Amino acid sequence: MIVGSIEEAIRLGADGVSVHINLGNENEHAMLEDLGAVGEECRRWLMPLLVMVYVRGLNVEQPVSDKAIAHAVRVAWELGADVIKTAAPKDLEVLEQLASYCPVPIVIAGGGKVKDVREFLERVSGWIGAGARGVAIGRNVFQDRSPVSFLKAVCSIVHEGLSGTEAYQRYLDLAE
């Protein structure tokens, strides 16, 4: 459901807009129509568009296949995304392929709260190494015992190229 217009976003001073779609959902058709319309208006107004695309629905086989995630990325890109936020493929080679052919940045969603910070930082390192341009991990930052340390550790992977192990050590050093 569209709740605003691109013109309204411009009047409000927005730097971009986002659309969330779930492929495999019973409302997929309407979501795709909405995304197409918003994408067209964004191109017309030169407004950046973040598309948050997931494969979710009652009839979606779990776990979601890497092929389905790759299809979702392709759909988002073809319908006008300037940035795509999605779930990480399980196989990092699939993410490498997506990042190499997709002309817009892919940002990986962090999912639910993690129990093992080291393991999570290793995953982030793998995603960035495979070509993801960033991560969206709000819950994991806000719910950590040391949110600032957690965020700085993740930033050290994304912006400085630290490994997951190096970032974890930074996390521990900062959390003390």
Domain boundaries, the chain: 1-109, 110-176
Segment holding 6, helix H or strand E: helix 6-11
pLDDT in tens, the chain (176 residues): 899 999 999 999 999 999 999 999 999 999 999 999 999 999 999 999 999 999 999 889 899 999 999 999 999 999 999 999 999 999 999 999 999 999 999 999 998 888 999 999 999 999 999 999 999 999 999 999 999 999 999 999 999 999 999 999 999 999 87
Phi, psi of 170 (to 5 degrees): -60, -45
The strand pair at 134-136 and 106-109 is best described as parallel
CATH topology of domain 1-109: TIM Barrel (3.20.20)
pLDDT at 176: 78
Name residues whose C-beta falls within 8 Å of residue 62's C-beta, 6 or more positions apart in sequence: none
CA angle in degrees (0–180, nearest 5) for 24-92-16: 60
pTM of the predicted model as reported, rounded to 2 decimal places: 0.94
* 88 and 123 Cβ atoms separated by less than 8 Å: yes
Q: Take residue 164 and report the two structure tokens written for it.
A: 């997951």
* 168 and 142 Cβ atoms separated by less than 8 Å: no
| Burial status of residue 34 (CB atoms within 10 A of its CB: 0-12, 13-18, 19 or more) | middle
